Structure 1
Amino acid sequence: MIEEIKQYINGLATKFGAKVDSENSNSYAIRNNVGEEALRDNGAYFGFVEPEEGTSGQYHDFSLVIFPTNNEKAWLVCLGIGSSGFKNDYELASYPGVRRLFKNLITENGYCKSDFTDIESSLSKAFTGREDLRHLKNSISRYTKFLPVCEIIQDASSESAKKTIAAFVAAYAQLRNWPNNNDQRKAVNIALAPFVQKKVINTTSEVINLMTDRKFVVLQGPPGTGKTRTAKEAAQKIKAKVFFTQFHAETSYSDFIYGIRPDTSKETLLYKENHGIFSQAIKHALTHVNEDVVLIIDEINRANLANVLGPIFYLFEHKIEHSDIEIEIAPGLSINRLPSNFFVLATMNTADRSLAVVDFALRRRFAWYTIQPQALEGKYAKGVTKLANENSFFNSDFDEISKIFNWYASSEELSLQPGQGYFIAQTEEEMSNRIKYEIFPLIKEYLQEGLLRSAKEEFNTYFMNRINLSLVD
């Protein structure tokens, strides 16, 4: 079985573009330590290292390593790091996309470090203490600091195991830039597809389910991801009465809940009541008990929430069943809990870094649903998806930007990725203008703020090729 898998991964490497027995240079060196003594749990392994590291001895940088057994017990397939540490791959290890790529390949039985540059921390005890890995205890303990990704293979001869091994080889090939033609790139993509293919998510249905359970929900995400549209669709699908408002820096308690304002229609100075959108929605919910009421608050984090919500903050507790504390909403309107048919859907732009951070008390009272950029479905043709209306979704541009963000952006920076709304246009000229006058200035501003620095050259190459503009003046 070991010899069969060794031949299998060598064949995959060639299929994915690796040069082997080349007169000029090979793409990898083969490490092979599968003798009888090694197989008695003294560190049996085989795999690939960088060609200059040779076939034996300590080595540097990333490797593909498999820990086999000569019986029916579990194997481990891993992305490894040489015990000599990093020489050329430290920058590569720091890219978030490397971790995201390999994290997709593991199941709940696998392990993936949170930081691939960390060669000081050992594998977690929850993983190394697994019963089905006891026979590999010595092997694991010897390399425990140098295995950022591990996946358990219960039966190396099975089709599912071979798919996992193929995906690891494909991911390693991608790291090493082995593919150099379309057939090789296609082969890599096919091997990775079962693991990295994104699931189609019905966002509106998920939001409705969450809203039904939690009642108060914030839809957060980058601009252009359709947060407001999703909120409106969710309210429409449950046939709710909708009240809508948009917060801004000057929104106050008297605007949102209740206050008094001067009556400018009179010659003498008089004041009149102002029932804010919140009071209006509550009144409607109380008088129409058989009708769902949804209050949509657009851009909820643009206002000073402590000032805007005031004492009603207490009421946003989705599990309040009984309370002897009454909160006055407006004169003649006091309640001790929000009506059961009253819901709040709010939106928050995660890319707007100038806004105040929402405090923990408010976060506890709301459920938070992240809407990420996602390709739009429709009729696909030459990098463009034809939508049901006259618009088109330019998915080739969306994919290019997404790939750069996925590879270089930190978890925090992912919230800055332009959403799918930026890539909808009727013509190629309109899309080019959107890139030139919307996406290009946005990315340039991010870079000027010190964000996505490692992706600067990738973005610059994209914009030069697409609209002949450089990020550097």
Structure 2
Amino acid sequence: MDKEILKYYIEEYKKDFDRINREEIYKWYIVAEFQKNWDIEAKDFYTMLDKSLVDYVQTPFGKTSNNLICSDKVYTKDVLLGFVKEDENTVKSMFKYLYNENISLNERINYFKTEADNLFSKDERNKNKSHYQTLNAISLYLFLRYPDKYYIYKYSIFKLCAEKLNYSKKVKKGDIEKAIDLYDEMKSVIKEDEELINLSKRRLNKDCYQDENLNLLTMDIAYFIEHFEKNKMIKVDKCWYVGANMDGVDYFDEFIKNGYWENGYEDKYIDKVKSMQVGDKIVIKSAYTQKNNLPFDVNNKFVAVMELKAKGTIIENKQDGRRVLVEWDKPWEKPKKWFFLQYRGTVNKVERKADDWVYGALLDFTFNNIKQDYDKFLAYPYWADIYNLDNNDYEEENGDNDELKIYTKENFLQEVFIKEDFYNNLVNVLRRKKNIILAGAPGVGKTFMAKRLVYSLLGKKDDKYIRMVQFHQSYAYEDFVMGYRPSENGFVLKKGIFYNFCQIAQNDRENNYFFIIDEINRGNISKIFGELLMLIEANYRDEEIILSYNGKNFTVPNNLYIIGMMNTADKSLAVVDYALRRRFSFFKIKPAFEDSSFKEYQKSLENDYFNKLVNLLIKLNHEISDDISLGEDFCIGHSYLCNLNKDICTKDLLKEIAYYEILPILREYYFDDLDKVSYWQDEFEGIFE
């Protein structure tokens, strides 16, 4: 066997690992189910066998049929279970004999097949029919029982691998022992590739067969070699996607049968049809929308669908703007569904573009059977906005105006009452560390500051680049990153707000994105972030890990910044998670009553009641700071008195703020000192008398 050729295929396998994993991971679940359920001495042998040869499994990518034994129009398992109903003892003896390692392999296989023939022939109705207990099926039973020793035998795969790898031994149909020898040789090369082994191991969770001996991985690569050769990429850079409906009549069958396609309009698309060239690819499609039974979650919204029915090559253009002759390939047995990018018009030219992968993805889906990557499309800013995937409605601060308001550092310093040096430090640390926390007492304007800080860095008020969430004690990884959620049809794997936002940022590297977390210290950080705790660190941005839920590579992009807010007066959260402290830089935000910019704001109101209330709050905060049981973390913030103007800054409004917003906080602070509460209540009342 030529090891270098095999290494070439292994490298191609690794390049395409994400797709292969999505499509083939079910096999590791199938083996695990057999290992878990198989018991030859089970009281209910029929049920045990039914469970062992499971019909489908739930993988991180959805519910997947057991294609190893439940292929279309092949009823291997059904016949076997029928045998159990007719003669359970014989079927038991067939499996006991097959699994007796003291008997030669070929003898065991022949015995199983002969007994199957005998059982099947007892029923006259089975004449000229098949029981499907072939060498392929019997090798599957062997592999499921001893997956560290055997392989599934399929002659077409064995033959092609032997040819492509220059296997020295003669290949003969039905020679399962030579197939085992070939796969064992392949496995010896695979075992030398640590990168491949680690890739395979990282995708396996507790519900998977762990494949320590790498037999299943070896078979997967053999399967890949067969399909790699069959499906070598056809490079198509241009294709016409056309309709087949004219005046309400579907002409699909007519076009295919008679080798042409026709534009149903006399006054539309004439120039487009004339521009079609001999050799151009052409596809008949239909377009509609779909809401139910989608292979992904879009918050129960309608999705554009394009159904592809047949493809062909243009062989003649009559230049009449109406008709072209086409050499049609055999139509797909089942139309191929393509989601999101849709062409409703009758004539549409699609060309591959170097600066936009979407069109190339459609062409490769059409001509190379490359599966559509739904996650990638849903992370694309255009569709992410349409489907609002993270359940975060953009704030209506900008209204419906397309012209976004310019926002600069100067605007920030006018609205947020902090010094310029403090602002500069905030910006510099955020850019370097990627993660900061604004910590302070209630009412110091942490949320307001966080949003304005982002606006100043963007240079505009544009909430498109911002997501905001609030942590609480029940918030979990499944809400934040990914998890199973109930739906109409059971449970579906749903992406969380942080996962979706990372995908959006990753697909738009020219812009920066900001994730704001309110009450960050209220959540269990390790529980919420999970394995992403490492990835949010500045030094690990853009590095990949495989997520446990879907087995796919994931990264936190370098252009995503995290801003957390923390209420330091919350006594129930006195201890901050060390993991949080290590990964974030902390900025303490203090009340700004004595800041020069706040004083300018205060002066502009020209209100004596406001001035008296500010002076009293300054006095109150000094006392709180000096109180050993409280401290400056419990000071009253300035935001209670912000966003006022001369017209609304009345005595009654200020009285409401004092009595119903500030005094309740003091009653909580001094719950065990009613005299102090009474003192401060008298002080506030004195302002308004």
Q: TM-score, normalised by structure 1?
A: 0.49
Greater C-alpha radius of gyration: 2
TM value normalised by structure 2? 0.34
Larger helix percent: 2
